[in-house]
């Protein structure tokens, strides 16, 4: 009931702003991350007449009645509307969002308020889908001008059916020029209501001719496991970068079954950049590798409904050697999986320190389609570790940028099933620390020219490289073979010539970055032919963290065998 009351209070604040936006007259009556679903009934109405001010100061520590707070909020909006210098151009929805978000930020960094559109997108992500045209886009800058380009489309998507290709430039959306806009802004203009038409003005990469396409938006699937394939003979690789959604476990089971059919006897589970998601799905993922009765995560909150211990019920878990890759963007639900597998020594954790989010948010529906994620519990790994980083100083920027220095503290220590000491309080620390490969400033400066060079190649405009021209749409569901787009001196020389002609100031010291240049060109060529998901294989092949994961598989097997013996001894 307290959650309902709190949600209803926030609804009043949001409704109040909506009413101000629609009615300029004074109003006295108002009619509205890992996460757990929690719903409240819609259609709550409140009275919010403004009380007469009292000269008495509120007693320190006294609880202010909710109707008084709502009335004060309404009066503040009224004063802003009547006196602010740009009062006629106020965005009341934005005012409401800012005020509610600021209140939630005093609680913790992860409780959040969502406008109706943002909330729809959040729910769509949890269903592994969104409403749009199904294209990957990115910003690239040529001679100081930044534009947004199509890099790939997805199978059976509106964008793919409309014939959008790698390198097509988005000139305008619904007649509004997009030059100079961020790709995030362009994406928001393209996405929208299912079934509605969006008009894209496109400069074709193949001909440099401009045309306008009318594309009907539709639901586009966005799986939590974008790709899974045999990295090497016997070694399976699963890209687990897109969060934990309602379809995650089903996707994982299909991926593992398919890899087994191709001879998998060991697995690398790549949780890097996985931001988390639905707690129950994280539990089921860990359960695939942990035996019946083993604790996966415990959850503790203020109320009985928030206190729970999650255990595996799997009597036939996967036994193969397992390495889990993590980094600083592995958060929340992905940390639950990594923490459980580490505590039972079921997997070797390789990479970098994870984000450090040990809070559980309940998802609460608000009237008018808005929503709220509110922290209602904390979670702990099987050894009792809380991996949540400190946020008590209230500096959100430092928190999300990992600016607060952390030193190992025995207070947060736990022990794995074989007796290894592991620490909490700062995410999951890897068993094998491997830093991500650094891209130098000179390499960063080459990223845009490499894209535009590849755009010219695929259009057949680079002399001597006409065999790289792409004359058909993306070929989905194929792997990149070693013989596809092999690095060559001819390719490198052509890039050198192109850069000297287009951006000569960037044409120095190319030999030192030769391997980087050729690998990135190969990546873009693979994207143009096979799509962005398959093309990631090119980058994975050169990834030092993945190489370390492959190297660590025998150690992971030894560790898992020792853990199994420890469990057997405990059960005697």
- Residues annotated as catalytic are 332, 343, 357
What is the spatial distance between Cα 432 and Cα 544, in angstroms, rounded to a whole number?
Answer: 12
Closest CA to 396 of 404, 387, 386: 404
User: Three-state secondary structure along 375-396?
Assistant: EEEEEECCCCCCCCCCCCCCCH
What the block records as the tokens of 168 is 């097509």
Burial of 259 (0-12, 13-18, 19+ CB in 10 A): buried
Length reported for the chain? 572
Residues in a beta bridge with 432: 350
User: Three-state secondary structure along 82-149?
Assistant: HHCCCHHHCCHHHHHHHHHHHHHHCCCCCCEEECHHHHHHHHHHHCCEEEECCEEEEEEEECCEEEEE
What is the spatial distance between Cα 19 and Cα 266, in angstroms, rounded to a whole number?
Answer: 59
Taking CA 265 as the corner, what is the angle to CA 260 and CA 269, rounded to the nearest 5 degrees? 85
Neighbours of 430 (CB within 10 A): 23
Secondary structure (DSSP) of 328-384? TT--THHHHHHHHHHHTT-SEEEES------EEEEEEE-GGG-EEEEEEEEEE-TTS
Assign 189 to helix, strand or coil: helix
Contact assessment for residue 552 and residue 350, using Cβ atoms and an 8 Å cutoff? yes
Residues in a beta bridge with 47: 29
Greatest alpha-carbon pair distance for the chain in Å reads: 85
Taking CA 332 as the corner, what is the angle to CA 313 and CA 543, rounded to the nearest 5 degrees? 100
Q: How large is the C-alpha radius of gyration of the chain? A: 27
Pairing of strands 277-278, 359-365: unpaired
In a 13 Å sphere around the CA of 122, the CA atoms on its Cβ side amount to 25
Give the residue carrying structure tokens 């194929």: 478
């Amino acid at each position: 009931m307290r959650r309902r009351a709190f949600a209803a209070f926030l609804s009043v604040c949001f409704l109040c702003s909506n009413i101000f936006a629609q009615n300029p007259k004074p109003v006295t009556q108002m009619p509205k991350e890992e996460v757990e679903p929690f719903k409240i009934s819609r259609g709550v109405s409140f009275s919010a007449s403004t009380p007469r001010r009292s000269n008495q100061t509120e007693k320190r520590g006294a609880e202010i009645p909710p109707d008084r707070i709502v009335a004060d909020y309404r009066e503040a909006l009224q004063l802003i509307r009547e006196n602010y210098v740009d009062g006629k151009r106020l965005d009341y929805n934005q005012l409401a969002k800012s005020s509610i978000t600021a209140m939630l930020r005093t609680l913790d960094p992860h409780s959040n308020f969502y406008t109706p559109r943002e909330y729809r997108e959040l729910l769509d992500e949890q269903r592994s889908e969104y409403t749009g045209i199904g294209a990957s886009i990115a910003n690239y800058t040529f001679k100081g001008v930044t534009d947004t380009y199509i890099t790939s489309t997805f199978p059976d998507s509106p964008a793919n059916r409309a014939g959008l290709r790698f390198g097509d430039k988005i000139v305008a959306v619904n007649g509004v020029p997009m030059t100079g806009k961020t790709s995030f802004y362009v994406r928001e203009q393209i996405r929208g209501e299912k079934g509605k038409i969006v008009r894209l003005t496109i400069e074709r990469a193949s001909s440099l001719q401009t045309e306008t396409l009318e594309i009907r938006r539709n639901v586009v699937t966005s799986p939590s496991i974008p790709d899974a394939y045999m990295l090497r003979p016997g070694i399976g690789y699963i890209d687990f970068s897109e969060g934990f959604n309602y379809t995650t476990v089903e996707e994982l089971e299909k991926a593992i079954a398919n890899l087994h059919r191709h001879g998998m006897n060991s697995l690398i589970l790549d949780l890097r950049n996985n931001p988390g998601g639905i707690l129950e799905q994280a539990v089921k993922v860990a359960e695939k590798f942990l035996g019946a009765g083993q604790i996966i995560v415990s959850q503790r909150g203020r109320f009985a409904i928030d206190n729970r211990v999650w255990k595996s019920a799997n009597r036939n878990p996967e036994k193969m050697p397992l390495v889990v890759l993590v980094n600083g963007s592995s958060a929340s639900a992905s940390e639950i999986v990594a923490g459980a597998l580490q505590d039972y020594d079921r997997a070797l954790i390789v990479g970098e320190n994870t984000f450090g989010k040990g809070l559980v948010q309940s998802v609460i529906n608000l009237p008018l389609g808005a929503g709220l994620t509110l922290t209602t519990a904390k979670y702990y790994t099987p050894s009792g570790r809380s991996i949540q980083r400190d946020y008590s100083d209230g500096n959100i920027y430092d928190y999300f940028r990992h600016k607060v220095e952390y030193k190992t503290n025995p207070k947060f220590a736990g022990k794995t099933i074989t007796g290894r000491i592991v620490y909490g309080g700062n995410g999951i620390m890897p068993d094998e620390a491997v830093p991500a490969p650094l891209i130098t400033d000179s390499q960063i400066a080459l990223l845009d020219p490499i894209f535009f060079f590849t755009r010219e190649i695929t259009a057949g405009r680079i002399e001597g490289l006409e065999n790289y021209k792409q004359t058909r749409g993306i070929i989905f569901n194929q792997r990149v073979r070693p013989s596809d787009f092999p690095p060559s001196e001819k390719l490198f020389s052509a890039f050198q010539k192109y850069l000297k002609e287009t951006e000569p100031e960037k044409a120095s010291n190319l030999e030192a970055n030769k391997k980087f240049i050729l690998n990135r060109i190969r990546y873009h060529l693979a994207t143009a032919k096979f799509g962005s998901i398959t093309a990631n294989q090119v980058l994975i092949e050169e990834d030092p963290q993945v190489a370390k994961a492959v190297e660590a598989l025998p150690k992971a097997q030894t560790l898992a065998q020792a853990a199994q013996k420890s469990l057997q001894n405990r059960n005697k």
